[in-house]
Amino acid sequence: MDGAEATRRAALSAMGVVAWVPRRAAAEAAETPVAEAPAVRHDAPDWDELAARVAACQRCELHQGRTQTVFGVGNRNAGWMVIGEAPGQEEDRRGEPFVGRAGQLLNNMLRALGVERGEVYIANILKCRPPGNRDPRPDEVACCEGYLARQIELVAPRIILCVGRIAAQNLLKTQAPIGKLRGQRHVYGAQETPVIVTYHPAYLLRSPAEKRRAWQDLLFAQRLYAELSA
């Protein structure tokens, strides 16, 4: 067994999946309507200007309690983009999305597919931590929406992996439960970027029995990405 395969098997173990699980995804379902991205102005900012705007943002009251904004991290030319909900306490402290136990599990989820964290781009629906890690409010999401839309436009990923109900519902403009959103190829924006929905790593830590379903979602995303890259 080479080093890459050993790493993949260790990541699968962390996901609660044995190495012999078949690498066939669930049957593809019908494509859902396109989730429209907010319009981007003609003076759309580049990465540096966008990061500066986010760092100085006071559009909603969340800026009053933040330690710092959590802009995003990773490969800005990535084929994969991961979108989560909002920063937690540790993310707020470190200024980076998906750190701590949930971040470690996300890393293992990606590694199980042969993808390292640094190869993807990771961002959140919100750039500031809601008090007590409560769910984002619609007005807060609206204030950050243009920032995320521009990040997606700049990265131009081949596929978006949306983790968690809150992220999926806000990105796709739907109230459908996550059970209805999984297993489907959704699309986002004018470029109709494919979106695959799975459970949030924090939820999987609380509900490890759902790791099997999350693995199915990841295999579905991997198969779709391979088709798009062919």
Higher pLDDT, 98 or 16: 98
Within 10 A of 86 (CB to CB), how many other CB atoms are there? 27
* SS3 state of residue 132: helix
* SS3 state of residue 22: coil
The amino acid at residue 12 is L
Token pair belonging to 86:
């909002």
The per-residue pLDDT for 43 is 65
**Separation between Cα atoms, residue 25 and residue 230, nearest integer Å:** 18
* Domains contained in the chain, CATH given: 45-229 (3.40.470.10)
The per-residue pLDDT for 76 is 97
In this model, does residue 215 exceed pLDDT 50?
yes
> What sections of the chain are H helices per DSSP?
3-14, 47-55, 89-94, 100-111, 138-155, 165-172, 178-181, 201-206, 211-229
pTM for this entry: 0.85
User: For residues 44 and 153, is the Cβ–Cβ distance under 8 A?
Assistant: yes
The amino acid at residue 207 is S
**Separation between Cα atoms, residue 25 and residue 146, nearest integer Å:** 33
Tens-digit pLDDT profile for residues 23-65: 444 444 445 556 665 654 546 899 999 999 999 999 999 999 9
Which of 114, 116, 115, 140 is closest to 126 using CA atoms? 140
The per-residue pLDDT for 23 is 42
The per-residue pLDDT for 27 is 42
Tens-digit pLDDT profile for residues 143-177: 999 999 999 999 999 999 999 999 999 999 999 99
